[in-house]
Amino acid sequence: MIAQLVAVPVLSKAWGVDGFGVWLMISTIPTYLALSDFGLGVAAGVDLTASMEREDTGAAVTAFQTVWSFLTLVTVAIGLICVAGAFGWAALSDQGPQGPFGRDEIAWSIAFIVMAALLSMQMSIRKIVFQATHKYALGTAVFDALYFAGSLAVLIGVFLGFGLIEAAMTQCIARLISLVLFSRLLVKREPWSRVGWRHAEKATLKRLFSPSLSALTLTIANSFGLQGVVLTIGWVFGPAAAAVFATTRMLTRIPMQFSGLLTRASLPELTRSQVAEDHALTARLMKLNMGLTLGVMIPAALALFLIGPTVISAMSHGEIVQSRLAFGLLGLAAAFCAVWMTLGTRLIAVNRQSEFAFLALGLYLACALMPYVSPNTIVPVLVALVVADAAIALKTMRGA
């Protein structure tokens, strides 16, 4: 959250709103690259947690190495394709937003961003072991601290005069250092979790395919709702519009970092309670989750509706101007989103995300395409996001 907040004044002042918008647009690439995990990360996390609850370390090792082997192979291949596509675009295309940067500069930056994303995905694969072994707090604290340090290094570099390529290269180096440190901690705490392919099995991959497909669908849906909308707004209205929208939504979604504190931590516990059929604990966790979500999101949405335009102007040195209507609609969408993410945790904890993932995919895809339907105003896009999040919240309420 701090990194996101600091990025607005630092990047908008150093590169201008157009340059900031270009950075936001190429920063969506890691999210789409993450789709190449086919949802196996989520499915494997639940499977590992259930295996450790049954004290079946052998099954956990098999699942971990199966997922690591498959994802490493696939993500590297797709990453290379992304890099080749970026340089191909730079060499052959004469369309698309550039802002203050040249095409070659953008292409090289994309290459470094892709490499940083691959390193981050390796960290994410390892993080599921912490989740499955009652070390969620340790794994999350170290993972996020390293991630924050890397983001801070990029911002310091830009403040000192880094251009787009240097910023992307800094992010890549920071992720490499983070991966080394995170891997050493994991092996020290859980020696059985060494990466490799010796215990990988096709049968395990097939068993995880069905729940992973649903998890992938939900990941794709979220990518359309988050990064996809930023990309299409930037393409239709320009990079500056993407920067304004993304910054506004970032502010309205900051409260979700707090409303989701218990939700994120309770995911492995909800898996354990439902595997053990401890209905009382499951109900108690969900009640606490919803209480915190509503207690944070409702006041935050009202506050941002009132003071959001002033805050965003102050953060950007007056470069970014946004209406109270936009803050109101995006705040409402964030509140509904927090509700469905909270209710959906119980379903995700037992690999039942298929009950709402496909609905989310259709709705968020429609939101991502909305700028092409209304190229003269962004308001229909904001309304569509409210409707989409409200519909998903209603669906998860019925499922949970």
Ranges of H-type helices in 27-53: 29-34, 40-53
Q: List pLDDT tens digits, range 116-164.
A: 999 998 998 899 899 888 888 899 899 999 999 999 999 999 999 999 9
Residue 95 has pLDDT above 80, yes or no: no
Q: Is the dihedral of CA 9, 10, 16, 22 positive or negative?
A: negative
What is the pLDDT, as a whole number, of residue 197? Answer: 86
Q: Hunting for tokens 């308001």 — which residue is that?
A: 379
- pLDDT of 226 reads 81
Question: For 2-18, what is the mean pLDDT?
Answer: 87
Q: At what angle do helices 164-189 and 103-132 cross, to 10 degrees?
A: 20
248 vs 206, higher pLDDT: 248
Q: Are 304 and 331 in contact (CB under 8 A)?
A: yes
Query: What pLDDT band is residue 276 in, cutting at 50, 70 and 90?
Result: confident
Indicate if the pLDDT at residue 75 is higher than 90: no
Find all residues with CB under 8 Å of 344, minimum gap 6, and list them: 353, 356, 396, 399, 400
Q: Residue 105 has what pLDDT?
A: 87
Mean pLDDT of 80-106: 78
User: What is the DSSP secondary-structure string of 243-309?
Assistant: HHHHHHHHHHHHHHHHHTHHHHHHHHHHHHHHHTT-HHHHHHHHHHHHHHHHHHHHHHHHHHHHHHH
pLDDT at residue 225, rounded to an integer:
86
